[in-house]
Copies of this chain bind each other. A is one copy, B any other.
Amino acid sequence: MAASLPPVITVFERSPDRGKGLARDMRVRWALEEAGQPYEVQLVSFDAMKQPAHRARHPFGQIPTYEENGLTLFESGAIVFHLANTRTGLLPDDPHARARAVTWMFAALNTVEPPILDLQTVKFQERDQPWYAQRLPMVEDRIRGRLGELADRLGDAEWLDGAFSAGDLLMVSVLLRLRASGLLDESPNLAAYVARGEGRPAYNRAFDAQLALFNSRSSGGVGR
């Protein structure tokens, strides 16, 4: 009986990006949809996220978390990996191809995302600082360096290494954070790559679900 219960993920009760799909539950929702895995959503407020009950699930007091059959995971990359590793459709079967796809998961999160997070830090936490105007272009140039290298590797391929994988899912998710900055459009092949990701039916189901939740909460509805 317990084995048939769908996994439960936690998401923002009210996403700070107002449903633009940039909260990290989106990565997990997308992976769940790619795997055809139904799931339940549990809402967590900003206050509740920092309380012991949630910190027992997520030591850093963030979302998403993932609970299933007595297993509790946090960290969106790890949850996507768990889904990819236990369901089909997100990692190739061939061991070498699989290892390479996992490499792109780590590259997305540990090489490409850090300078992008730094840009968000600058924009949201340092906008009023006297150094903002001078520091912003430095951070943008660091991102440009990484994007140029990624664009060179991608070339005119559809995905980073053969068929679409969890590596692409995370890379597209990371790059999407750049859309508002205009930096992504400086690399046309990367912009097209991200658009291909956004065009996947699973992406759209996940996006629509998080947007519907935001809208229902904003209009005073019950959500869920």
Interface, chain A (partner B; CB < 8 A) = 55, 59-62, 70-75, 77-79, 81-82, 85, 96, 99-100, 102-103, 105-107, 109-111, 113-114, 117-118, 121, 125-126, 129-131, 134-135, 138, 146, 149-150, 152-153
Contact = CB atoms under 8 A, between A and B. Distances in A.
Contacts of A118: 114, 118, 121
B110 A75 contact: yes
Given A71-B99, A73-B103, A59 B149 contact: yes
A135 B146 contact: no
List the 3 shortest-distance A-B pairs measured between CB atoms, nearest first.
A131-B131, A59-B153, A78-B103
Contacts of A149: 55, 59-61
Question: How many protomers of this protein does the assembly include?
Answer: 2
Contacts of A81: 102, 106
6 contacts: A59-B107, A74-B103, A110-B113, A113-B114, A114-B118, A130-B131
A82 B100 CA distance: 9
B107 A110 contact: no
A110 B171 CA distance: 13
Contacts of A70: 96
A96 B106 CA distance: 21
A129 B131 CA distance: 9
A60 B146 CA distance: 7
Contact of A59 (B59, B71, B121, B150): B150
Contacts of A73: 99-100, 103
Contacts of A62: 111
A103 B75 contact: yes
Nearest to A125: B138
Contacts of A153: 55, 59
